[in-house]
A = this chain, B = another copy of it.
Amino acid sequence: MTKKENILVAAQELFAKYGYAGTTMKMISERAGVAAGLVSHYYGSKENLFMVAGQEMIDSMLRMLRTRTATAEDGKQAVGLFVKAYLDFTLQNQATFPTLIRCSPFSDDNPDLDRETIGEKFKLLMEEIELHLRRGIEDGSIAAVPVEETAFMIYGCIIGAVRTVFLTPYDVPGLYEEACQFVMRSLEKH
């Protein structure tokens, strides 16, 4: 790994653990094993590094989500696969995923940060869900729900489950399982 990559990984881990304000450029340079000045040299500012760290994560997550939902046989199954894949991703990247939480437009961390670029990426996420919903409504596997609002609600469910697991002190084993079924139940036809 190059020093530049070392810095990015160190940043993803530290922002995940200590938040934006709680992470200093010095902490990042130390964990990356480089001089203090190099972090600014490569990434310009702390804010920019934070955003690059988040973008890199959302990009690889989007790729994975598209792969995992490609095999779905109908819209409902696609939604199910999406939710499952998303939750899996958080568990496979436990040490760094909270950085994406803090970077997302749903974060309450630092309202001053310019989340525009990353906000567009999250919009793609939502549109992915909408795609699956429309397919499901057409192929009859999903009830006739309002597409945009329901996409937001599905993503909202994911947010709620992920935050419970990653941020709160509450221990709710089986929450991820139930999250999948909760979403599925809300799409069912009667």
Contacts and interface: CB of A to CB of B under 8 A. Distances in A.
Given A105-B168, A106-B164, A178 B157 contact: no
A151 B23 CA distance: 33
Interface string A84-128: 000000000000001001100111111110010001001100100
Contacts of A126: 170
A22 B47 CA distance: 14
The interface residues of chain A, by DSSP majority, are classed as helix
Interface string A13-50: 00001111110000000000000000000000000000
Interface of A: 17-22, 98, 101-102, 105-112, 115, 119, 122-123, 126, 143, 146, 148-150, 152-153, 155-161, 163-164, 167-170, 172, 174-175, 177-179, 182-183, 185-188, 190
The 5 closest A-B pairs by CB, nearest first: A156-B160, A149-B178, A21-B21, A186-B186, A105-B168
